[in-house]
Amino acid sequence: MNIYPDQHIGGPPAPADWTMAVGVEGLGEGTCYFADIRRGGDPVCRLMITGTLAEEEEARALLAVKVRLWIAEYISRQHSGATTFGVLE
């Protein structure tokens, strides 16, 4: 599990091939933290949080919960197998 070292933060554990890299954009009141989610090294999604956070570790823990919940929901969906972009009809 490569999302967050503390298993007690909340959300179901993610499978081992899922990873999260946290970054920050902006400073002061405009600061937002983001988590780039990858599966097997391939980018899948980016989740963001904004607001007044005391420090990066707090943001990392909050993002880890969001990421775990997002991954669980994603895995539970039916997938067609087609992963390329196509024309919407």
Other CB atoms within 10 Å distance of the CB of residue 36: 15
| CA 7 vs CA 61, 70, 71: distances in Å | 10, 16, 15
pLDDT of residue 80: 72
Location of structure tokens 């990873």:
19
Q: What is the pLDDT of residues 23-59, one digit of tens each?
A: 988 876 778 899 999 999 999 999 999 877 768 888 8
Location of structure tokens 């400073």:
27
Q: Which of 36, 29, 32 is nearest to 3 (CA)?
A: 36
pTM of the full structure? 0.76
At position 79, the amino acid (one-letter code) is H
User: How far apart (Å, rounded) are the C-alpha atoms in residues 31 and 17?
Assistant: 29
pLDDT of residue 19: 92
